[in-house]
Amino acid sequence: MQPKEIGRSYDTIAHVWQEPHIQSNGIPQFERAIKFTKARNHALDIGCGSNGRFFDLLLKHGFQVEGIDVSEKMIVLARQRHPNVPLHHADITTWNLPRQYDLISAWDSTWHLPLKKQEFVMQKICEGLTPNGVFIFTTGGVDEPGEKSDSCMGPPMYYSVLGIPKTLELLTRFKCICRHLEYDQYPEQHLYIIAQKT
């Protein structure tokens, strides 16, 4: 599936991310990432979704926040909650970052990209960080590259991951250091990584 198709799938379930139990998902992990930041000017949330919980947290810590999502419905709902946050309905594989950021997040989002686009997008993100900028993202906690499709959330979805060794290799190549790596839902293979630009 291409990003636009993923966006259309998420359009049909965007309301789910308005439910209260979602509000705490990822917050402790973001708090950890924020501790690594040296500056707190601009932040970008890739795959920002509709509920804005990360916007609230980043704004509380003094960041100027932007969001991008491939789902038009997610952006519409996010604008209702955060009318003053710049939001972009766009595909991260083709969108040009307008500036460098002190923090970039991609929580449960970039793993929907085509496998052949993963390396390119990681490079784009790493280059989009300021010196000492922090990147927090999720991926699959597996050793080898892989991809799959399913409908476990209802509409069809596609997932791809580079695997831990390749991900860490690329972070190093793109001048970032892994500061934290954790299976935060073990034994599920949900992995989050905090990396920092050198």
Predicted confidence (pLDDT) per residue in 54-110, tens digit: 999 999 999 999 999 999 999 999 999 999 999 999 999 999 999 999 999 999 999
Residue type, 126: C
Q: What residues does each domain of the chain span?
A: 3-12+26-197
- Report the Cα 179 to chain-centroid distance in Å: 17
d(C-alpha 134, C-alpha 184), whole Å: 19
d(C-alpha 180, C-alpha 178), whole Å: 6
- Report the Cα 54 to chain-centroid distance in Å: 11
Percent of the chain with pLDDT strictly greater than 70: 100
- The CATH class of 3-12+26-197 is alpha beta
Question: What does each C-alpha distance from 145 to 116, 165, 175 come to in angstroms?
Answer: 10, 9, 21
pTM of structure? 0.96
Q: Which residues in the chain land under pLDDT 50?
A: none
